Structure 1
Amino acid sequence: MAQTLLKVDNINVFYGNIHAVKDVSFEVNEGEIVTLIGANGAGKSTTLKTISGLLHPKTGDVLYKGKSIKGVRAHKIVEAGLAQVPEGRHVFLHMTVEENLDMGAYTQPASTIAPNKEKVFELFPRLKERRKQLAGTMSGGEQQMLAMGRALMSNASMLMLDEPSMGLSPLLVQEIFDIIQNIHKEGMTILLVEQNAQMALSVADRAYVLETGRVVMDGTGAELLTNERVRSAYLGG
C-alpha cells in the first residue's frame, strides 16, 4: 500500500472577505501523479499556494509526510522536500540558465549541486546547451523547462506544477507533458494543476475536480476522462 505523502484536510482559505477555498480535502500518495482540474477561479492555484506556505488556511490542516506544515514558512517547506513550479514560470530573467538552477539549490548543501544539475541537464538537454544564456532571452517553453529544473534542484521528493502548459503551443504542451511523465518515471510524486484537462487527466493516476472552491468530483484520470459531466464542462465534449 503506497504511503500518503500529502494530505490536505478540510482547508478553508480566504482572500480578505472572499472565501476562495471551501472545505477542500484530498491526498497524494507516494509515486502518484494527481491532478486538480477546474475552470479559472475554481481555487486550484490558491490550494497550491496554501500547501506551499504562501497562504495560510483559516481552518483545516495540511500534512506532508505525516507532519502538519500549516503555518510553516515557505522556504522550510521546500527544505522538507516539497517544491512548487509557479504559474507564469517566474524565472530570474536577468540571470543565466545556470544561475537560475543554482538559485533552486539554495536550501541544499553545496555537495549536492553538481550531481543534481547533471540530472536536470539529462532531463532537459536544451538547458544544458543554453546554460550560459540569459533566461529572459528564452522562449516560453524553455522558461517552463527552466522553472521545472530549478524546482528539481531543491532535491524535492514531491513537485507541484501550477499550469505548466499555460501560453505554450500545442507542440510544446506535448513536450512539457512528456517531460512530466519522465520526471514521474524517475520516482517523483507530482501534484498537477492544469487548465488543459484533457492532457492532465491522460497522465494522472487520480484527479479531483474543483468548482467555485469546492471539490465536486474525484476519480482516476481514466474515469474522469470518460465522465459525461467532465467532458461537457472541461473537455469540450
Structure 2
Amino acid sequence: MLDVQELNVHYGSIHAIRDISLTVNEGEIVSLIGANGAGKTTTLHTITGIKKATSGRIFLDGKDLMATEPHKIITMGMAHVPEGRHIFSQMTVAENLEMGAFWLKDKSHVNKEMEKVYAQFPRLKERYKQAAGTLSGGEQQMLAIGRAIMSKPKIMLMDEPSMGLSPLLVKEIFEIIKQLNQEGMTILLVEQNAKMALSIAHHAYVLETGKIVLQGKASDMLENDNVRKAYLGA
C-alpha cells in the first residue's frame, strides 16, 4: 500500500533522513521506532507532504505522492494523527470532527462517519458540545484519532499517540489502535514506547540518526538483544 524508496531529506545542511526505504502492506501495523532526533517525525511529515524531500520516491497504491499537492493527499486515503494532537482547542468536539471530513461534500456521509466515531469513542459523544481544549489528554488523543477517521482513510499515520499520557491511558490508546487495525485500518505507527509499539505491530523498522539500521517482524524485534538494550530497557 505505502512504498517509500531511498528517501532523503535535508534541513539546510543537515542531512536528516538518509536513503531510507520502507513498506507498509495493506492490513498491517508497521512500527517505526528510534530515539528522539532519529528522524521519525520528519519521515511522517515527508510522506504526508508537510516536508519536501530532497530525493527519493513515495507511492500510495502506486500513485506518486511526491507529485501530489499536500492538501490532496488526504483525498487519496491517507490520514495523519500528528505528534502533540494539534486539535482546534477553541472549537467543540463536533466541530473538530467535522474538520476531519472537510473534503467530503455529502453531509449525510459526514454524519455517518461522525456516528461511527462516536460509537468508537463514547466519551467524545458525551462531550460533543464541549470545547476541545478542555478535554483531558487522553480524550484529546481520542479526538485526534477520531478526526483522522472522519476522512475515511485507508492508511493512518500516527505520531507518538502515547505522549504525555498515564500508563492506564496508554494501554487504552493502544487497544484502540489494535481495534482499528482489526477493523481493516492499515497503520504506520511512530512511537517512543517501543515495547508497546512492537507488541501490537506486524513489522518494524529501527531508525537511528536518519538511517534504518534494522527491520523485521515486530515479534522478533522484541527478542533482539540490541533492540532490548537500546529501546526496551533490558
Task: Indicate whether the TM-score tops 0.5.
Answer: yes
Separation (CA, whole Å) in 2 of partners of 1:202 and 1:158: 20
The size of the alignment, in residue pairs, is 233
Q: 1:89 aligns with which of 81, 85, 109?
A: 85
CA distances 1:20-66 after superposition (whole Å, capped 9, x unpaired): 00000000000000000000000000000000000111110100001
CA contact (8 A) 1:12 1:20 kept: yes
Which residue is equivalent to 2:100?
Answer: 104
CA RMSD across the alignment: 0.7
| Residue 37 of structure 1 pairs with residue 28 of structure 2 | no
| Residue 163 of structure 1 pairs with residue 160 of structure 2 | yes
Which residue is equivalent to 1:199?
Answer: 196
Separation (CA, whole Å) in 1 of partners of 2:46 and 2:208: 17
Deviation of the 1:72 alpha carbon: 2.0
CA distances 1:119-155 after superposition (whole Å, capped 9, x unpaired): 1111111101111110010111100000000011011
Q: 1:8 aligns with which of 4, 7, 19?
A: 4
Which residue is equivalent to 2:124?
Answer: 127
Which residues of structure 1 form unaligned runs of 5+? none
Deviation of the 1:71 alpha carbon: 4.2
Which residue is equivalent to 1:118?
Answer: 115
Classify the secondary structure of the residue corresponding to 2:32.
strand
Separation (CA, whole Å) in 1 of partners of 2:23 and 2:65: 14
Q: Look up the equivalent residue of 1:101 and give its one-letter code.
A: L
Residue range with higher mean Cα deviation, 104-113 or 207-216 = 104-113
Which residue is equivalent to 2:185?
Answer: 188
4+ long deviations beyond 6 Å = none
**Normalising by the residue count of structure 2, what TM-score does the alignment of the two structures yield?**
0.98
| Residue 224 of structure 1 pairs with residue 225 of structure 2 | no
CA contact (8 A) 1:33 1:203 kept: yes
What percentage of aligned pairs have identical amino acids?
59
Which residues of structure 2 form unaligned runs of 5+? none
